[in-house]
Amino acid sequence: MNQKRRTLDIKEAEMCMSCGDTPFKDIDLYIIEISQGIINQRTLREFGGMTMLVGGHPALADMFVARRNIANLMPAVRVTLCHKCFLMEDHSLAALWEKGIAKQKEESEKA
C-alpha cells in the first residue's frame, strides 16, 4: 500500500472516542480505520480443496484457483483518539469499532 501524508480538514475533526475530550490540546492525535472483513467460505473451501489436490502446496494451489475473493471488506469505520488515550489506556478495538459505527450512523441520519 502506497500511502501519502495528507492533511486533516477542520470538517473532519472529531472528539476523542475514548474520553470524549478534544484531541487538539496535545502534540498529536490518532485516527484508526477499521474494516470488517466477512470471510468468503466458498473461496476458502475451494482453496482448501485445491491445496489438497496439489499435495498440500498452497503456493501451487494459488495458481489454479479461479475464485480470488477471500473476504468482503465492509466500509472502514474511523476512530479518533487523543494522544493520552492512545498511549495510556487499554482499548477494546471492538468497542471503538462499535462507537465508530454508531457515530457514522448518527451522521448519516443527520445528512
Least Å distance, CB 42 to Zn ion, is 42
Angstrom distances, CA of residue 8 to CA of 11, 13, 64? 8, 7, 43
Distance CA 87, CA 26 (A): 12
Distance CA 26, CA 86 (A): 12
- Which x/- pattern, by CB under 5 A, does the window 19-58 give for Zn ion? x---------------------------------------
Can you read off the three cell numbers belonging to residue 19? 474520553
Of 23 and 47, CB closest to Zn ion: 23
What does the DSSP 8-state code read for residue 6?
Answer: -
* Closer residue to Zn ion in complex, CB, 23/61: 23
Are 40 and 69 within 8 A, CB to CB? yes
Question: For Zn ion, what does the binding mask look like between residues 80 and 99, x meaning CB under 5 A?
Answer: --x--x--------------
Size of the site for Zn ion (CB under 5 A): 5
Where along the sequence are the contacts to Zn ion (CB under 5 A)? 16, 18-19, 82, 85
